[in-house]
Structure 1
Amino acid sequence: MEELTIVEAQMKRQEDGSYIGKTVFQVSSHKAGYEIAFYSKDGGDWDYSLHYASEPGIEEQFMAVDTRIEEDDEWFDALLDAAWDTLAEE
C-alpha cells in the first residue's frame, strides 16, 4: 500500500460560514506532489479538487491518486482532517 505524507495544510472559515482549505501531500513512489483543495458550505458535505502541488507528474499516477481519494475514506479523511485541524478556534 502506498503511503501518504502530509506536507502542509490549512483551513479557513469564510464570512458566509463556508469553509475553504487545502492539503499538500506526497505519495511514496510518486515524483510529483499533490494538492487537494476542499470546499464546504456548512462543514458537512465536502467538494474537493485535486491538482499537482508544483510540477506535473505522470498522468497515470495522478489518476490513481484521484481514484484512491474517491474510493478510500481513510485517505480522504486523513487529508481533510489535516486541513481541518489547522482551523483557528472561534
Structure 2
Amino acid sequence: MSKKASEIQIGGSHYKELAMSPLKYILANNLSYCLGNVVKYVSRNKGSEEDKVKDLLKAKHYIDLELENNYKRDPNGKKLIG
C-alpha cells in the first residue's frame, strides 16, 4: 500500500519529532503563505547556533513580508506611504 503525500517528508526528519507537523497546523488554522512560513521556520529551529539564527531570520523576513503585503506596514510597524 502506498503512503499519502502528507505521510512522507523529503529532505530530512526535522518535522517528524514534532507533536503536529507545521503543514497540519498551517492548514488547520488557514494561515497565509507568509505566516505559514513563519510556523515552518520556527518549528524547525534546531541544529547549530548558526542554523538556528538563519531560521529565525527567515521567519522574521516572512513576518516583515506579512506586515508589508497585508497591513501596508514596514518592518517596524509604521504605515507605508503610497
Using structure 2 for the length normalisation, give the TM-score.
0.28
Structure with a larger share of its residues in strand:
1
Larger-Rg structure: 2
Higher relative contact order at CA 8 Å, sep ≥6: structure 1 or structure 2?
1
